[in-house]
Amino acid sequence: MTGEGSIPVRVNDRVLDLPEGRSLLEGLLEAGVPIPHLCHHPALKKATGVCRLCTVEVSVGDGGPQTRRACLLKPLPGMAVRTESAAVQAAREKAMRALLRQAPQAERLLQIAAQFAIRVDPAPDGCIRCLLCERICREVVGAAALRLGKRGGVRLIEPVEGRCIGCGTCANVCPTRVIHVHDEEAVRVISIRGETIGRHPLAVCEGCGKRFATPKFLDAAHHRAVDHHPDVKEHHRFCPECAKRLSGRVSALTTRRY
């Protein structure tokens, strides 16, 4: 039944009396129909439609359905509105993507996305997927501790459990500095996006007592040295500064000890 100053509009599967002269968005919201919106404010008279979130599918009379912003329309006789069609969902996703590009961490946007099941791309994680870290770890370090995986449909660099030797090479080559090496007293932590790649105790330099490298890295260096440079095979027990300073004496010291 039509009330005074109202217009009957078919909204999804019901006919609602929406106030004449007010926007379709206001009428739908007042009638309790959930519609995502951001740039509408009841204290402001003129709608702008800039956020585009309130897009609905509208047809009037014999005209085919069109996606339109509800805040820019007024209820009309013979109007039919769909608020939950595939076209509406696609329009909402497009609008939300544009908004999140400008404010990727905005809590209100993410809340609206969750409330209306609007699929959103994950926020940028700082990694540009250049694969330098994965390649250097596999090809040069020989640890193969990183791989390009997929989580929630998104490709991302992830650790291979138990393979990291804590050398820090991946962090050194990372062009965006998203991989971190953090030495906490006697422990070295390698991480990406806050996720731990490897956690290792740090060995002590036999020259100066400084903690400088991980035992796994020193073992790897030792094996390489034995293979390629037998004359310097014990230099890895010294930090780079001491190895340099003692370079003439290291062989003698280590020869004496062993």
Which chain residues interact with ligand SF4 by CB under 6 A? 137, 141, 143, 145-146, 164-170, 190, 197-198
Task: Please give the DSSP secondary-structure letter assigned to residue 137.
Answer: I
Q: Which two tokens stand for residue 28?
A: 């739908």
Residue at token pair 């105790």:
201
CB closer to ligand SF4 out of 167 and 250: 167
Question: CB of 180: closest distance to ligand SF4 in angstroms?
Answer: 10
Q: Which is nearer to ligand SF4, 114 or 128 (by Cβ)?
A: 128
Q: How far is the CB of 167 from ligand SF4 (least distance, A)?
A: 4
> Which residue is it, tokens 């791989």?
147
Looking at the Cβ atoms of 116 and 217, the one nearer to ligand SF4 is 217
Burial class (CB in 10 A: 0-12, 13-18, 19+), 255: exposed
Nearest-approach distance from CB 191 to ligand SF4, in angstroms: 10
Q: Rounded to an integer, what distance in angstroms lies between the CA atom of residue 10 and that of residue 129? A: 49
Q: How many helices (H) and strands (E) does the chain have?
A: 8, 12
Closest separation between CB of residue 237 and ligand SF4, Å? 20
> Which residue number, 143 or 203, has a Cβ lying nearer to ligand SF4?
143
